[in-house]
Structure 1
Amino acid sequence: MKDSVAINQDWIDPGWIDKVSNHAQIGGIETSVLDNGAGRGTRIAWINTGAGLRFKVVIDRAMDIADAFYNEHSLAWLSHGGITYPQPFSDHGINWLKTFGGGLLTTCGLSHVGGPESDEHGERGLHGQISNIPAEIISIIQPDPRRGNLEMSITGIIRETKPFGPSLELKRTISATLGKAGIRIHDEVINRGNTPAPHMLLYHFNFGWPLADEGADIVWKGNWHPRNGGENAKIFKAGNNFKKCAAPLDDHLGGGEEVVLVDIEADIFGNSVCGLSNPKIGLAAFLKFKKEQLPWFANWQHWGKGEYVTGLEPSTHPLTGQAKAREDGSLIFIEPEQSRVYELELDILHDEETIKEFLIDYN
């Protein structure tokens, strides 16, 4: 597949250098604080790639990504509540949903992914704590195009910790290149405690209208099974075209949904790819990640009226929770001062020929 997001060659033509005095005229990173509504006081960073893609990093919510746009088109689904101030002690039952703003990315973990549960190892709420923990920003690097540096990044540390452990630290870098419509995420999860720490992680990417729209293609390849069993499935059944976004469904009013678990394929380089493509607007988004790092994948479909979203969700485990992972021996333990690295890339395609190649290769 050719590189449809290559740097605009006009940018590296010396002719423009004498016409731009500040990198922000082209793109870069701008931090600010929300001053109204439920998100009042929440720190954010807008990242503008200068290539049509701009997105909002919510610094106080684990550096997750809320709004995201390519030119005039929104990419992400936003819940009714949108961005809310973090609630670090909401890790009980389904309280996580009260502050779930949707957004392009919500991170789940670091020690539990799945529904609420409790056992001799403690109580764990839906999808863990990490998305409700603010980051300590340790670096912001702006592009310097006049000197030929087109890279930009923001790095922060998010700590899921308590005295006497477990104590996990997420060091997250979100980066982009001026002139490319793409996002790179580099995560390192470190055990800062003195005993082995259980670890689970899920990347909850949420796509909404107009990228997700009736007839748009949902792209992934691999063996699949419905999370709640085939006998309970209405969408994920053999013969159904469940890789097309559906019209709004009455069955999905309120909490209606369906989820499929996929043993997603990897290419010869170990990369797995998924995404969405909407020919109505001539736009596709594709997500690439390492199968070795994130062997599980889920496609969440919720076609409710006014709550229309599909999720593409790479993860370390299926959505069965820490207790089940302990039972079947799949739970990851990170040793003291050891770490695990995760790398993901999201790119936007807008060239018709490249989108066709993308669909042929991965759907």
Structure 2
Amino acid sequence: MTRQAWHNKISNPTQLGGIETSVIDNGTSRGTRIAWINTGTGLRYKVVIDRAMDIADAFYNQHSLAWLSHLGITTPQPFSDKGIDWIRTFGGGLLVTCGLTHIGGPETDEFGERGLHGQVSNIPAEIESIIQPDPVAGKMEMSITGIIRQTHPLGIRLELRRTISATLGKASIRIYDEVVNKGNTTAPHMLLYHCNFGWPLVDEGAQIIWEGSWKPRESGESNKIFREGNSFRKCPAPLDDHCGGGEEAAFIDIAPDGSGQCTSGIYNPAIGIALVLRFKKEQLPWLTNWLHFGKGEYVIGLEPGTNPPIGQAKARELNQLIYLLPGESRVYDLEIEVLDQETAINEFLNNRLVETKIIHIN
């Protein structure tokens, strides 16, 4: 977006883009705070303030990027942290945060009871700041920052400070997270960014992009897709096997480039769009590729994480569980960018690493 195109021709910066907050007033999401962010490039997306500042709807021009479950947005359900109650609040969306102490299926051990994918996505944020762009003054940046507290008295006290930012004229979303142990005891920590992509970005023939050593989550006859030599990098038509609860996943020890950056994404040549997901290997060393190609529930998940979603107990057993000391923090950077120019898409596709192998996770 060049200055010359709009100079002396706009009276309000929202003609170009910006952040608009509101409250949903109907259905199961009634009373939920949201923020629409418009980058002025065709990329616009909905931040659900009351659900850990996760991202629901996302569009690039006329094309939806995110998969939305038929449930849609719901109000936060703070006690949905038992068993598989989490799935009853799962509206899909471009980003659902999992953690902050557990990612994976429900489990119980001597350290307590943990439900599917943890608590954080059902915690409202306390908004700290909203910074609007001011293009006339040369300020093209915008951001929203909030604090999400996963805590209970006499127990673990973790705080997630999240900033979602964008630049007018750039089709990208930047997420900067800092997780701090505000308590007085050591806390376990796991985090996963459950990114859910849907039609028309995800469609028959669309390519799934990632490189690295991988292991199928399923084994035996239940593993029908993630087999060596199988073409699991292109999306099929909806599968009868995936109706209802059918799904598959792979755990990927994703390969970084020379600077330590990992890249994955989706490319759909039919609509001429590539979505690129970037993150740092030292922060998020694992990627989970989730596939659910059910009829009417057609979705690909690309999920960077501190661990595969194997659960706190398994991570502890493998000596892979992160612990945060009182006052200790960790930071995470994630970027989602949409490409529609042939040169940029080809550069994205051609810069992929090519060496992959199957790994074993005990």
TM-score, normalised to structure 2, is 0.96
| Structure 2 counterparts to residues 162-181 of structure 1, below 5 A | 162-181=152-171
Q: Which residue of structure 2 lines up, in the alignment, with residue 57 of structure 1?
A: 47
Q: Is the counterpart of residue 114 in structure 1 residue 104 in structure 2? A: yes
- Write the distance in 2 (CA, Å) between the matches of 1:163 and 1:95: 23
**Match of 1:324, SS?**
helix
- How far residue 230 of structure 1 moved from its aligned partner, in angstroms, is 5.6
Mark the runs of 5 or more structure 1 residues left unpaired by the alignment: 1-7
Q: Is the counterpart of residue 220 in structure 1 residue 228 in structure 2? A: no
- Write the distance in 1 (CA, Å) between the matches of 2:302 and 2:6: 39
| Structure 2 counterparts to residues 66-215 of structure 1, below 5 A | 66-215=56-205
- How far residue 297 of structure 1 moved from its aligned partner, in angstroms, is 0.8
Q: Which residue of structure 1 lines up, in the alignment, with residue 347 of structure 2?
A: 357
- Write the distance in 2 (CA, Å) between the matches of 1:53 and 1:230: 41
Q: Is the counterpart of residue 270 in structure 1 residue 260 in structure 2? A: yes
**Match of 2:276, SS?**
strand
**Match of 1:19, SS?**
coil
Q: Is the counterpart of residue 334 in structure 1 residue 324 in structure 2? A: yes
TM-score, normalised to structure 1, is 0.96
**Match of 1:340, SS?**
strand
State the number of aligned residues: 353
Q: Is the counterpart of residue 42 in structure 1 residue 28 in structure 2? A: no
- How far residue 229 of structure 1 moved from its aligned partner, in angstroms, is 2.8
1:89-125 CA distance string (max 9 Å, x none): 1100000000100000000000000000011111100
8 Å contact from structure 1 (residues 230, 236) kept in 2: no
Q: Which residue of structure 1 lines up, in the alignment, with residue 357 of structure 2?
A: none
RMSD over equivalenced CA pairs, Å: 1.0
Mark the runs of 5 or more structure 2 residues left unpaired by the alignment: 354-362
Query: Residue 74 of structure 2 aligns to which amino acid in structure 1?
Result: T
Q: Which residue of structure 2 lines up, in the alignment, with residue 235 of structure 1?
A: 225
- Write the distance in 2 (CA, Å) between the matches of 1:108 and 1:41: 23
- Write the distance in 2 (CA, Å) between the matches of 1:17 and 1:338: 46
Structure 1 residue runs of 4 or more that deviate by more than 6 Å after TM superposition = none
- How far residue 17 of structure 1 moved from its aligned partner, in angstroms, is 2.7
- Write the distance in 2 (CA, Å) between the matches of 1:197 and 1:224: 29
- How far residue 131 of structure 1 moved from its aligned partner, in angstroms, is 0.2
- Write the distance in 1 (CA, Å) between the matches of 2:72 and 2:236: 24
Q: Which residue of structure 1 lines up, in the alignment, with residue 358 of structure 2?
A: none
**Match of 1:362, SS?**
coil
Query: Residue 243 of structure 1 aligns to which amino acid in structure 2?
Result: R
Q: Is the counterpart of residue 283 in structure 1 residue 254 in structure 2? A: no
**Match of 1:56, SS?**
strand
1:157-176 CA distance string (max 9 Å, x none): 00000011200000000000
Q: 1:285 to 1:230 in 2, by over 3 A?
A: farther
**Match of 2:351, SS?**
helix
Q: Percent identity?
A: 69
Which region of structure 1 is more displaced relative to structure 2, 339-348 or 322-331?
322-331
Q: Which residue of structure 2 lines up, in the alignment, with residue 315 of structure 1?
A: 305
- Write the distance in 1 (CA, Å) between the matches of 2:315 and 2:251: 16
